[in-house]
Structure 1
Amino acid sequence: MKERKRLEEMGIVLETHQTRINGLGVSRAFGDWFPKENQTGIISEPYLSDLFELTVEDRRVILASDGLWDVMNGEKAFSLIESISDSTEASKKLIQTALSSSKCLDNITVIVINLH
């Protein structure tokens, strides 16, 4: 609701069940220059809903667009790349797996960061 309020305060008119702004299913995004420059309500300032601390046991971080998360959850993503040590190859594996899914309806960006 905070995000909806932010958009409405910017003068963005939203229908009751509207889930997209200019075709995008998000109101915050990296890139997407055109929507941000044309005051559509899309901004690049991150919104952090849950903060967590990495521990010494954490080996990797996956940064990805909704194109990946619409297809799989974090547990599935980490299990898919568990045996792949190279972060670039791990990213490619996640992208290839998502693209081969019938649920894949979006573009996909994935960055895997090895912490150790």
Structure 2
Amino acid sequence: MWIANIGDSRAVVCERGAANQLTVDHEPHTTNERKRIEKQGGFVSTFLGDVPRVNGQLAVARAFGDQSLKAYLSSEPDVKHVPINSSVEFVILASDGLWKVIKNQEAVNLVNSIKDPQATAKRLTSEVLAKR
């Protein structure tokens, strides 16, 4: 399986019941992303009660759009090849709407016994909404 991600998307695989994060979240405050943004003339700000943002606006360091911030962002995805074998049960693909609320292993545990993808998505959505 090939996984490519950008921004706040994340892929988590369930392997023998254990969650394994396959991708890196592209958040502006991480060392590599902050250095890249600053090298390109941008800045990362953190206001009390808020998340780090590129030039005080965008909460991801990599994105396709956002024309006004294009000079400071990257649209280069991280790409990874992941061998699939019989120990891999499923993959959860989601954005920070899920991952800021639910930990990787918690998400895997919530849906491990569900076989229908739509029912899985509904279960994760219900859990996020219940926790907000």
TM-score band, normalised by the shorter chain? 0.5 to 0.7
User: What is the aligned length?
Assistant: 97
Aligned position for 1:74? 104
Residue 60 of structure 2 is aligned to residue 26 of structure 1: yes
CA–CA separation in structure 1 for the residues paired with 2:44 and 2:108 = 36
**56 and 64 in structure 1: CA distance in 2 versus 1, 3 angstrom threshold:** same
CA–CA separation in structure 2 for the residues paired with 1:44 and 1:95 = 28
CA–CA separation in structure 2 for the residues paired with 1:23 and 1:15 = 9
Residue 76 of structure 2 is aligned to residue 42 of structure 1: no
The structure with the greater share of residues assigned to strand is 2
> Percent identity of the aligned residues?
34
- For normalisation by structure 2, the TM-score amounts to 0.59
Any gaps of 5 or more consecutive residues in structure 1? 103-116
CA–CA separation in structure 1 for the residues paired with 2:46 and 2:131 = 31
RMSD: 2.8
Aligned position for 2:24? none
Shift of 1:55: 3.5
Any gaps of 5 or more consecutive residues in structure 2? 1-30
